[in-house]
Amino acid sequence: LYHKVDGTSGYEVALALATGQAPRIRRRSGPYSVASSFPLRIFQPARVESAPDAATIREVEAAYPGTLIWSECVTGQPLTDFESIEDGQSFRYAIVNVGAADREELMHRFQEIETRLAYRFDSQT
């Protein structure tokens, strides 16, 4: 996310520090003015009815340059164990990192991406 806005990766800074060099930190030289990480969560037990495959994720990332998507579930998977692997209240099923020119565009891009990913769940209450 820092790279999207500032043009400097946190990994670049960590590597410089680890090798005894002064990190080269740039400000506001990235391709976007704003960036965010959107964790996608459900708050009740469910089974994944539909999750995007790797090809769909690549298509969505290509349609929105600079976007990174991590899917953490597959079609048919039960999402029920909130206690031992999550925060006890929800289950994270994906993460979307996206950048944009401003907050309004950021939210619009995220909403379009979320729609295109088309996750669907069957409640298991």
Domains of the chain: 1-31 (no CATH), 32-123 (3.90.1170)
What tens digit of pLDDT does each residue of 56-65 get? 999 999 999 9
pTM exceeding 0.85: no
**Neighbour order of strands in the sheet with 78-79:** 78-79, 46-50, 120-123
What tens digit of pLDDT does each residue of 2-33 get? 566 656 777 887 888 899 988 877 766 678 89
Instruction: Give the count of beta carbons closer than 10 Å to the beta carbon of residue 75.
Output: 13
